[in-house]
Amino acid sequence: MSDLLLGARMAFSGGRDGWARALLTAFGVGIGVALLLLAAAVPAMLQGRQARGDARFDFRLGEQLPAAANTLLVAPFDTEFRDRPVRGRLVRPEGPQAPLPPGVSALPRDGEVVVSPALKELLDSPEGSLFAPRLGGAEVVGTIGPQGLPGPHELAFYLGSDTLGSDGSNRIDAFGGGPPSEEFGPTLILLVVIIFVVLLLPIAVFLGAAVRFGGEPRERRLAALRLIGADRRMTRRIAAGEAVVGALLGIVVGGLLFAVGRQLVPLVTLWDISVYAGDVRPSLPIVALIVVAVPVVAVVVSLIALRRVAIEPLGVTRRASTTRRRLWWRLIPPAIGLVLLEPLVSDVRAVGEALTRHQVAAGVVLLLIGAVTLLPWLVDLLVRRLGRGPVAWQLAIRRLQLDSATSARLVSGVAVAVAGTIGLQMLFTGVQRQYTTETGEDPTRATSYVRLFDIPEGSAAMNQLLAVPGVTGGTGTLWARIARDGSSPEAAPAGYLRIGDCRALAEYAELGRCADGDVFRSLGPPDDGPSIDAFVPGTRIAVGERAASWTLPADTRTVPARANPIGWKRSEILATPGAIEAGRIGPLSVETYLDFDRDDPDTLERLRNTAVQLTRTSWVGRLSATAQADRFVTIQRGLYVGVVVTLLLIGVSMLVGLLEQLRERRRLLAMLVAVGTRRATLAWSVFWQTVVPVLIGLTVAVAFGLALGSVLLRMVNMPISVSWPVIGMSTGLAAAAVLLVTGLGLPALWRLMNPVGLRAE
Amino acid sequence: MSIGQTFLGLLEAGPRHGYDLKRAYDERFSHTRPLHFGQVYATLSRLLKNGLVEIDAVEPGEGPERKRYAITAAGVTDVQQWLSQPERPDLYLQNTLYTKVVLALLTGRAAADLLDIQRAEHLRVMRELTRRKAGGDLADQLICDHALFHLEADLRWLELTAARLDDLAGKVRA
Amino acid sequence: MTVEPLLVADQLTKSFGPTTALERASLQILAGEVVAVMGPSGSGKSTLLHCLAGIVAPDSGQVRYQGRDIGAMSDTARSALRRGEFGFVFQFGQLVPELTCLENVALPLRLNRLGRRAAERRAAEWLERLEVAEVSGKRPGEVSGGQGQRVAVARALVTAPKVIFADEPTGALDSLNGERVMRLLTDAARQTHAAVVLVTHEARVAAYSDREVVVRDGRTTGMERSGVAA
């Protein structure tokens, strides 16, 4: 016990250097602990979001309720603003006891609106005028509290309405009570699991490196203790005490960093998801585990480190690791990993289940650990074969031959990060490509589309949309459901009738010649949508809700359908305005394709404003071939940020190691300078010494990354394709980190090359 | 230097004539001051009288008496005893150098000057010894080492004394 | 008859912070002579050696090698001079621990851009000459102190330098090994006609020199008997 305390005291002894070392360790461990805590908080984070999301569920399942004093009519009124989803609800209380949505203190009356803080901020900003029209000039009477929002940045509002009818709305007597929602699909869970593994493994490596900071002086101090009579066991206990102190301090620092960091969390919105600081709450068992495990790992790591050196009273000798590293056990983790992943390769749907989720996590972890375990063996093997070359190269390689473990350990962190990134990016690009090809939208034909459902004055609405400032042109059609007249409504073959001028109709079919008054039967692929076989020329048809009667003219031509700008292609009846009087049909739906300057996003918002004023149910969107892939861009960016942070962390520990090594060799450096060694030679030797293991590590990383990526792609049933830019980017980032480390180490090298170093000791 | 014990030591290797003994002694132990024959025969007859050596053979022939001496058991014991007895250290304190330093101190002269002069001289001798050592056999090396270490000890003592006196002078002046 | 000195130190002064290491120290080294720089520890011996070798720049005063002012040279030129014309033997910590002894000896040659093969052949010859051929494949950590020091001497001599700077070369050795190192060092230096600047506080080591210079409190106070022939 007293040995442990002595070790604890020694963690700070040694004046300024000692403190610097203790702080460095504490900070290093702290960063690791903070990230672990953050990772541990993710489940609670998602749970909190989900619980609040479920609590405001406002769709009643089962039979319709009768109107009562405690019922509320709710209708969805969702929209988007600048690609951010806005959750909108129209509400109309039917009695004094109408339920309140979570986070709302009083229901808005007609002409009043309750908004989320983020939306309020938006309304108060200069951009507010682009959104305000959608609220119909309602007065903001309150904000939605945190318990009514999944995250702080969500845009949401409850708009009061006196005119809302039971048609198209839900009558509820309470919020919540819906089926538990699944926020993340299986693929996404897979991604999240792997992202954490990819980011946490290097952090574990970093933690291991951080508790070794200051290893050399520590060993010298222990040697001094041996001299005054401490036995081997005592030195081990003292070292353990020292490590525990560093780790405990690190936990404190980590706790502080986490506490500060979680205040920053609400500032970030990733993939439309924002999180309250209060939700970032690591679960207690995991916190307990971290608090216990980190010091234990620190002690174990420092004891393992001691195993490699013989601390004798008169100094420290490093046991030459002449024993060749064995290969067989290093192959076990990746092998088990592959075995675990193998059954999942065929069926990704199973991934959502808890057991398989663990299986994926374990498989990926083991596969990546394989990179960690194989790397030292490989570095050892390769470095032994090198050696010929200029002096700088020789110095570097010989140094590595003597001790490749230290660099291999750090490089394995880099390797894991890069391998994971490559694997994930392969998955992303695969998934992305699929989404992109399936979009089918053709942005060259129009900038955006607006679809309005069942509005009385279709033509007027179309003209209103075309008149929105910024819109430079476009086409529009009206459409309605049709059925063959006379037959019973259920049995009657149904289809669609689309009314528009020749130019507009040309977006839907290969018309050939067309003049006002013409009618066409557009024939699409047989499987897509209702068939028009029943609608031959001369057929009497009932159009729209009012079943207005109309006969298909005898000169109706049959033409092949054409994919419209959003990629749909189906069979329908196309009529020019001269053939049918749209005004007598009743409510029609509007479908327009509009052109405007793609770089002017305001026009889109203005279109939404206009659409919302025309009808409650509208779709407004921008045509984009890659629209669906946007969300992956965000994750990809997030992953890159994570990897960069991880690489920087490892870079820091590499730098610390490099500086320690340089300091330890200060006499030698001074001597080399004294005998006339060029500075460039020494700089190159430091460079090679850092770069060679990293190069080997990156090679391993690329191999494991490709393996991981292939497995993941197979899991989601996608063809395996290698994206070289992704590999280039990931390895490039790692290479940049290494260059940065070497660059930052050079000033120290320059300073240590001062011949005054000869005077030391 | 005890000539008697040295002779006994030389005889331990085997019987020798008086003349050979003198030559061996001179070569190994006394380059600068050869023994007189009188000293040799006086010493040998004393050893003979004490029963430490005996006459091994008398060779007839021309010139001086040619007796060959051999060591007795008592003689071997005597050498053994002499070798195992430490020399009195004060022997070295009574040499001239010591006398000079003490005199310098008493007369207020700088010990450092004495040191510098003496060092040059010591080193001159030491260089000579070092050179001789390089060309000589084991016995040469041993005797030169012996001298070198003593000379070095002298110098070190002088250096320490000079440093001590400087220190003392500094204290007195302060 | 005056011989142009190989290396001249003229009125060197050097301070490290508040402590004065050298104060107007002067010294001349002739080609091929072995000069012992003696003095108590902390007297400035090593600093004088560092200044002479162009490792440390004096605060004032001049060091001339073959008539050229070392202080006026660029750092690169001084490094080249140390690589090409000088050899160094220190007390300890001078061999690169991860290189083999042979590679250590070959290092100065390779720094002078000699090919690896040729450099190692010459290094092997010198190891032979210094009676340590058997350690050539070992790392410095695996050889005895005396062997290591002889390897260091081989390294200092391998470039056939004009001046060898030896700073307490026997400081970490026992007498017998020290003697062996000194004998091999001075013999080899005399054979190659290299001058040796030997910093030591031991008279027995200094006895291998041709003459001695004493440094006390940063001043050279020895018998400046320049002109003593080797």
- Facing residue for C203 by CB, picked from B112, B116, B126: B126
**Same domain assignment for residues A704 and A732:** yes
| Interchain CB distance below 8 Å, A391 and C81 | no
**Same domain assignment for residues A657 and A674:** yes
* Smallest CA–CA distance from B149 into chain C, residue: C204
pLDDT at A120 over 70: yes
Local structure of A541: helix, strand or coil: strand
Domain range enclosing A530: 448-624
| Interchain CB distance below 8 Å, C79 and A673 | yes
The DSSP annotation for chain C comes to --PPPSEEEEEEEEEETTEEEEEEEEEEE-TT-EEEEE-STTSSHHHHHHHHTTSS--SEEEEEETTEEGGGS-HHHHHHHHHHTEEEE-SSS-S-TTS-HHHHHHHHHHHTT--HHHHHHHHHHHHHHTT-GGGTTS-GGGS-HHHHHHHHHHHHHTT--SEEEEESTTTTS-HHHHHHHHHHHHHHHHHHT-EEEEE-S-HHHHTTSSEEEEEETTEE-S---TT---
The minimum CA-CA distance between C147 and chain B, rounded to whole Å, is 20
Distance between CA A750 and CA B11 in Å, rounded?
A: 69
Q: Which pLDDT score, from 0 to 100, does residue C115 have?
A: 85
Distance between CA A261 and CA A281 in Å, rounded?
A: 12
Q: Which pLDDT score, from 0 to 100, does residue C198 have?
A: 93
Q: Which pLDDT score, from 0 to 100, does residue A180 have?
A: 62
Weakest mean pLDDT among A219-223, A236-240, A691-695: A219-223
The minimum CA-CA distance between A384 and chain C, rounded to whole Å, is 13
Weakest mean pLDDT among A5-19, A31-45, A208-222: A5-19
Q: Hey, of C55, C91, C155, which one would you mutate to test binding to chain A, going by the most A CBs within 10 A of its CB?
A: C55
Chains that touch C (3 or more CB pairs under 8 A): A, B
In sequence order, the 6+-apart residues with CB closer than 8 A to the CB of A704 are A334, A367, A368, A370, A371, A415, A419, A423
**Same domain assignment for residues A636 and A561:** no
Weakest mean pLDDT among A10-14, A18-22, A29-33, A257-261: A10-14
3-state secondary structure A624-641: CCCHHHHHHHHHHHHHHH
Query: What is the rounded average pLDDT for all residues in chain A?
Result: 76
**Is residue A63, in this structure, part of any structural domain at all?**
no
Residues 116-135 on B with a CB inside 8 Å of C are 116, 119-120, 122-123, 126-127, 129-130, 134
DSSP class of residue A349 equals G
Distance between CA A415 and CA A738 in Å, rounded?
A: 12
Angle separating helix axes A666-674 and A679-715, nearest 10 degrees:
130
Residue C55: list chain A partners with CB under 8 A.
673-674, 755, 758
Judge whether C36 and C205 are in contact, CB under 8 Å. Answer: yes
Check CB contact of A681 with chain C, cutoff 8 Å: yes
Helix then strand then coil, % of chain B, to nearest 5: 70, 10, 20
The minimum CA-CA distance between C207 and chain B, rounded to whole Å, is 5
Alpha-carbon distance values, A134 to A462, A513, A595, A755 (Å): 18, 41, 22, 75
- Facing residue for C56 by CB, picked from A671, A678, A755: A755
Binned at pLDDT 50, 70 and 90, residue A49 comes out as confident
Judge whether A7 and A240 are in contact, CB under 8 Å. Answer: yes
For the segment A183-201, the average pLDDT, to the nearest whole number, is 66
Residue C208: list chain B partners with CB under 8 A.
127, 130
Q: Which pLDDT score, from 0 to 100, does residue C1 have?
A: 44
pLDDT at A489 over 60: no
Question: Higher-confidence residue: A236 or C6?
Answer: C6
| Interchain CB distance below 8 Å, B149 and C204 | yes
Residue B134: list chain C partners with CB under 8 A.
183
pLDDT at A761 over 50: no
Judge whether A755 and C56 are in contact, CB under 8 Å. Answer: yes
Question: Higher-confidence residue: B30 or A238?
Answer: A238
The minimum CA-CA distance between B3 and chain C, rounded to whole Å, is 29
Distance between CA A264 and CA B147 in Å, rounded?
A: 82
Weakest mean pLDDT among A161-165, A195-199, A366-370, A504-508: A195-199
Distance between CA C193 and CA A684 in Å, rounded?
A: 35
Tokens of A636: 């990809």
The minimum CA-CA distance between C193 and chain B, rounded to whole Å, is 18
Q: Dump pLDDT digits (tens) for A650-664.
A: 787 778 777 777 877
Q: Which pLDDT score, from 0 to 100, does residue A272 have?
A: 59
Which residue is listed with tokens 């209380």? A93
Distance between CA A251 and CA A37 in Å, rounded?
A: 10
Q: Which pLDDT score, from 0 to 100, does residue A179 have?
A: 65
For the segment A579-584, the average pLDDT, to the nearest whole number, is 78
**Same domain assignment for residues A384 and A397:** yes
Distance between CA A261 and CA A361 in Å, rounded?
A: 26
In sequence order, the 6+-apart residues with CB closer than 8 A to the CB of B145 are B133
**Is residue A312, in this structure, part of any structural domain at all?**
no
Residues 119-138 on C with a CB inside 8 Å of A are none
Residue A672: list chain C partners with CB under 8 A.
96
| Start-to-end C-alpha separation, chain A | 34
Q: Which pLDDT score, from 0 to 100, does residue C186 have?
A: 92
Q: Which pLDDT score, from 0 to 100, does residue A516 have?
A: 83
Q: Which pLDDT score, from 0 to 100, does residue B9 have?
A: 81
Distance between CA C147 and CA C153 in Å, rounded?
A: 10
In sequence order, the 6+-apart residues with CB closer than 8 A to the CB of B143 are B28, B29
Question: Higher-confidence residue: A56 or B45?
Answer: B45
For the segment A623-629, the average pLDDT, to the nearest whole number, is 56
* Smallest CA–CA distance from C103 into chain A, residue: A394
**Same domain assignment for residues A472 and A482:** yes
Distance between CA C128 and CA C171 in Å, rounded?
A: 23
The minimum CA-CA distance between A8 and chain C, rounded to whole Å, is 32
**ipTM of this complex prediction, to 2 decimal places:** 0.81
Q: Hey, of A321, A384, A386, A391, which one would you mutate to test binding to chain C, going by the most C CBs within 10 A of its CB?
A: A391
A162-166, A517-521, B122-126, C210-214, range with greatest mean pLDDT: C210-214
Judge whether C230 and C210 are in contact, CB under 8 Å. Answer: yes
Distance between CA B25 and CA B45 in Å, rounded?
A: 17
| Interchain CB distance below 8 Å, C207 and B134 | no
pLDDT at A486 over 70: no
Q: Which pLDDT score, from 0 to 100, does residue A404 have?
A: 72
Check CB contact of A75 with chain C, cutoff 8 Å: no
> Which burial class, exposed, middle or buried, applies to B84 when counting CB atoms under 10 A from its CB (0-12, 13-18, 19+)?
exposed
Chains that touch A (3 or more CB pairs under 8 A): C
The DSSP annotation for A615-682 comes to -SSEEEEE--TTGGGHHHHHHHHHHHHHHHHHHHHHHHHHHHHHHHHHHHTHHHHHHHHHTT--HHHH
Alpha-carbon distance values, A383 to A377, A527, B46, B79 (Å): 10, 63, 78, 65
- Facing residue for B130 by CB, picked from C202, C207, C216: C207
In chain C, which stretches have pLDDT less than 50?
Answer: 1, 223-230
Distance between CA A226 and CA A219 in Å, rounded?
A: 10
For the segment B123-145, the average pLDDT, to the nearest whole number, is 84
Buried-exposed string A587-610: b where 16+ CB fall within 10 A, e elsewhere? bbbbbbbbbbeeeebebbbbbbbb
Q: Which pLDDT score, from 0 to 100, does residue A8 have?
A: 65
Judge whether C81 and C58 are in contact, CB under 8 Å. Answer: no
Handedness of CA A379, A384, A390, A396 (dihedral sign): positive
For the segment A184-190, the average pLDDT, to the nearest whole number, is 60
**Same domain assignment for residues A468 and A591:** yes
Judge whether B47 and B8 are in contact, CB under 8 Å. Answer: yes
Judge whether C120 and C126 are in contact, CB under 8 Å. Answer: no
The minimum CA-CA distance between C49 and chain A, rounded to whole Å, is 11
* Smallest CA–CA distance from B125 into chain C, residue: C207
**Is residue A178, in this structure, part of any structural domain at all?**
no
Local structure of A58: helix, strand or coil: coil
The minimum CA-CA distance between C208 and chain B, rounded to whole Å, is 6
**Same domain assignment for residues A196 and A287:** yes
Q: Which pLDDT score, from 0 to 100, does residue B107 have?
A: 57
CB pairs under 8 A between B and C: 40
Distance between CA B37 and CA C222 in Å, rounded?
A: 45
**Same domain assignment for residues A669 and A745:** yes
Q: Which pLDDT score, from 0 to 100, does residue C225 have?
A: 43
CB pairs under 8 A between A and C: 77
| Interchain CB distance below 8 Å, B116 and C223 | yes
**Same domain assignment for residues A301 and A326:** no
| Start-to-end C-alpha separation, chain B | 47
pLDDT at A309 over 70: no
**For residues A637, A638, A642 and A643, what is the CA-based torsion angle, rounded to 10 degrees?**
-30
Distance between CA A595 and CA C173 in Å, rounded?
A: 91
Q: Which pLDDT score, from 0 to 100, does residue A188 have?
A: 62
* Smallest CA–CA distance from A318 into chain C, residue: C141
Pairing of strands C163-167, C86-89: parallel
Distance between CA C120 and CA C126 in Å, rounded?
A: 10
**Is residue A180, in this structure, part of any structural domain at all?**
no
Cα A724–chain centre separation: 21
| Interchain CB distance below 8 Å, C110 and A394 | yes
* Residue type (1 letter), B153: A
| Interchain CB distance below 8 Å, C110 and A677 | no
Q: Which fold has domain C7-220?
A: Rossmann fold (3.40.50)
Cα A659–chain centre separation: 36
The minimum CA-CA distance between C204 and chain A, rounded to whole Å, is 24
Tokens of B132: 């001789």
Distance between CA A22 and CA C55 in Å, rounded?
A: 35
| Interchain CB distance below 8 Å, C76 and A678 | yes
**Same domain assignment for residues A485 and A348:** no
Tokens of B11: 């005889």
Residue C223: list chain B partners with CB under 8 A.
116, 120
Question: Higher-confidence residue: A246 or A438?
Answer: A246
Nearest Cα to Cα of residue C165 among C98, C65, C67? C65
Q: What's the residue count for chain A?
A: 761
DSSP class of residue A152 equals T
In sequence order, the 6+-apart residues with CB closer than 8 A to the CB of A37 are A254, A255, A258, A282, A287, A290
pLDDT at B22 over 50: yes
CA atoms within 13 A on the CB side of C191: 11
Q: What's the residue count for chain C?
A: 230
Write down the domain spans for chain C.
7-220
Distance between CA A285 and CA C123 in Å, rounded?
A: 64
* Smallest CA–CA distance from B150 into chain C, residue: C204
Domain count along chain A: 4
- Facing residue for A391 by CB, picked from C86, C88, C107: C107
Domain boundary (A624, A657, A674) is at A624
Tokens of B144: 């030169």
* Smallest CA–CA distance from C215 into chain B, residue: B116
Binned at pLDDT 50, 70 and 90, residue A736 comes out as confident
Check CB contact of C50 with chain A, cutoff 8 Å: yes
Judge whether A452 and A461 are in contact, CB under 8 Å. Answer: yes
For the segment A560-568, the average pLDDT, to the nearest whole number, is 80
Question: Higher-confidence residue: C76 or A24?
Answer: C76
Buried-exposed string A734-760: b where 16+ CB fall within 10 A, e elsewhere? bbebbebbbeebbebbeebbebebbee
Domain boundary (A307, A330, A361) is at A307
Local structure of A80: helix, strand or coil: strand
Q: Which pLDDT score, from 0 to 100, does residue B16 have?
A: 86
Residue C204: list chain B partners with CB under 8 A.
126, 130, 148-149, 152
Handedness of CA B124, B129, B134, B136 (dihedral sign): positive
Domain boundary (A146, A172, A198) is at A172
**Same domain assignment for residues A467 and A547:** yes
The minimum CA-CA distance between C27 and chain A, rounded to whole Å, is 21
Tokens of A627: 């629209």
The beta-strand segments (E) located in A96-160 are 112-115, 139-143, 155-160
